[in-house]
Amino acid sequence: MNACVFCALIATNSPDLFKKEDAAVAFFPLPGEEIAPGHTLVVPRRHTTAGVLDAPTADLAKVMDLAQRMAQRMMTGLGATGVCLLNASGPGSGRGLDHLHVHVVPRYPGDGDDTLPWPTGHSRHQLTVDPRAVLSG
């Protein structure tokens, strides 16, 4: 039995999957877990173990394509004034589970910073290398 909740949801072709495509699906979080009305998760059908770190490029493209279309519909159909895309990848990211998933969170008029789905703390980690040199190489 597959221990991945998302893989199990996809395998059962659950009615919770309201948007089903060949490579990606979209569904709502569990009740009470949504950050805003319309909050949607977009996941690839193919399992990953480290999110964006090991997902095939084609799967990332399909997930982002579907996430973009969900975001556009939130703006035109739900009255959102902005959208936040959230992803955590890798064991130290605070992710909830391994399967790549992108949260597409609509923002509405009157949403304050307290509802902004973004980390509010700052890392105290000190680098011993120049990040520009590492990341641009």
Q: What is the pLDDT of residue 1?
A: 42
Active site residue 125: no
Residue 77 lies in a domain: yes
Q: Tell me what the pLDDT averaged over the chain comes to.
A: 89
Alpha carbon 81 to its chain centroid, in Å, reads: 19
Please check whether residue 132 lies inside any domain of the structure: no
How many angstroms separate the most distant Cα atoms in the chain? 49
131 occurs within a structural domain: no
Query: For position 2, what pLDDT does the model report?
Result: 54
User: Residue 44 has which token pair?
Assistant: 């690839």
**53-110 pLDDT tens trace:** 999 999 999 999 999 999 999 999 999 999 999 999 888 888 878 899 999 999 998 8
Total of domains in the chain: 1
CA distance 63 to 83: 16
Residue of 39, 99, 101, 103 with catalytic role: 101
* Within a domain: 26: yes
Q: For residues 35 and 65, which has the higher predicted lDDT (pLDDT)?
A: 65
**Domain enclosing residue 15, as ranges:** 5-119
Q: CATH number of the domain that 55 lies in?
A: 3.30.428.10
For a pLDDT cut of 70, what percent of the chain falls above it?
95
